[in-house]
Amino acid sequence: MSYPVVFFDLETTGLIEQHHYPDIIQISAVCGERVFNAYTVPRCPITRVASSITGFTVINGTLFCHGQFVQTAPLVTVLNSFINFLYSLPGPVYLAAHNACGLDAPVLIRALQEFNLLGKFRGVVDRFLDTLLLSKRLFSQLHSHSLKFLVSRFLRKTYDSHNALEDATVLQELFYKWQPGRKAVRKSLI
């Protein structure tokens, strides 16, 4: 790769629906042994579906995951910390997520724009890499391209899916297991 790849994931209050963007709850990233993980209390309610999938709830302004208290910071602080993490790596970087173009990239970009951080972010992130697109290019014969299925199929294990840190970690493992060529990676950049 011409740039380091940082694997990241977001947990959010729901999905993008008719130009309504969900709020970020968790941002996690891994690059080799380097790890970033942070939580924030969302500013809008967590949908029932999202809560049942991720285990996140907010009670009286406090974030819980599966009933356990979670330490949080304001979203602007989390975003700045994430950008600082990215700048601590030899950059510029590709920022990889599974379904980056469908959820992670637009939600992250919108949040960065809200706090006027997009310019600082673009100073270190060259492009997004969508590993969902990459998996479809590499393994078009598969009946599913969900991260959970791909981890089971290629890594032969299960994991705590819908935890951003776990998702980012297994995504990195998958990518290095696949060893995709530059052409396939280039075609999966957004």
For residue 12, what are the contacts with CB-CB under 8 A and spacing of at least 6? 22, 23, 24, 25, 42, 50, 103, 107
Give the tokens for residue 42.
């969302």
Cα→Cα distances 83→27, 66, 115, 122, Å = 11, 28, 12, 9
Are the beta carbons of 25 and 38 closer than 8 angstroms? no
> In DSSP terms, which residues pair with 59 in a beta bridge?
62
143 pLDDT tier (thresholds 50, 70, 90): very high
Task: Output the pLDDT for position 162.
Answer: 86
When pLDDT is averaged across residues 148-175 and rounded to a whole number, the result is 95
Q: Containing H/E element for 177?
A: helix 164-178
H-type helices in 75-146, by residue range? 75-87, 105-114, 118-122, 131-138
Domain of 95 in residue numbering reads as: 5-187
In angstroms, the CA 69 to CA 136 distance is 38
Total number of domains constituting the chain: 1
Cα→Cα distances 95→122, 166, 185, Å = 11, 16, 12
With tokens 């729901």, the residue in question is 14
pTM: 0.94
Task: Output the pLDDT for position 19.
Answer: 72
Tell whether the model's pLDDT for residue 160 goes beyond 90.
no
16 pLDDT tier (thresholds 50, 70, 90): confident
Residue 85 sits at the vertex; the CA angle it makes with 79 and 102, to the nearest 5 degrees, is 55
Tell whether the model's pLDDT for residue 2 goes beyond 80.
no
CATH number (domain holding residue 126): 3.30.420.10
